[in-house]
Structure 1
Amino acid sequence: MKIVAGFIGVIILVSVACAPYPRYRTGGAELPSVVVPHGVKWVTSEYIKLGLIFEKYLGRPYFGKSVYEKGIDCSLFTQEVYRRYNNTILPRKAKDQMKNGTEIPRKMLQYGDLVFFRTEHNRVSHVGICVGHDQFIHASSSKGVIISSLLDKYWSQRYAGARRIVK
């Protein structure tokens, strides 16, 4: 029995000693930064912070879908995300949110940009947040908070523009 325990101890010691060197050290050093396309610099912790906020909302039902869960619509979703992220106060309606920030061409979209759509009578009436790779997170009236593709025919035909809130 002592031989087996000793053998297991040696295996553990060897496997720990052979562990790869950590890519980044966090002991007092700054977190590594990521340069996203078009020269805007984000720190990795900012991606994580925004991603953790998104995670809290994924799957939440749309307004009025359940009397037991708090529902959310698209503009309330973006309003709450930015309030939690960096205390940015956005207007309540998508069409009014489109007046905030800096206008961004479609080809320069990046993580965190607001994306707007004309879903009712050719008016801006829907908003989401770009999560990269032609994807955005938003509150869908049929599925609640989900991630969709900007390349889907429905969304690409209704795309109205984008605004950068985070500098």
Structure 2
Amino acid sequence: MTIKTTPIPGLLIIEPRIFKDNRGCFFELFNDANFHENGIETGFIQDNVSHSVKNTIRGLHYQLAPYGQAKLVQVMKGRVLDVAVDLRENSPTFGQHYAIELSDENKLQFYIPKGFAHGFRALTEDVVFFYKCNAAYNKEAERGINFNDPDLAIDWKIPVGESIVSPKDEGLPSFEEAEKNFFFHEG
């Protein structure tokens, strides 16, 4: 696997090693030893799958500390615009976001550590989205930020009126109003 850094500390793009031949392809979805050798301590305990139709926007979701979740996300079918927002106080990129296109074709994975809000938009008609989490879902710690917050200025590459968003996500607070309790730690 190849690990690529992003402009936001801690967010990583993982490019798996893909073996192709006339039958198709094979690659490891996850190998804890490889992540550990590359300094990524995961402790994944839960796998989740979501299915979305085109133009669905899910997010921006996170859980407060100490229930924060690191995630390793990948698209199994279709394409998404995946977004992570830095919520770590005193981070040099606090309040900034990073977006990447993930697809079943590019097979890229996106590692999102604790302290980030996460969301995605389905770019194709049928999206199957897979993510590993290092902490279980905790309803009391669940929080979110409105995907359309003008201060974040995320370009979802679709007019807001054409997106499909749950009432719950539409009612999420702005970045400024959202409860956050994460801190940036160097290294």
- Bigger radius of gyration: 1
TM-score (norm. length: structure 2): 0.27
Greater RCO (CA < 8 Å, at least 6 residues apart): 2
Which is richer in strand? 2
Which is richer in helix? 1
TM-score (norm. length: structure 1): 0.29
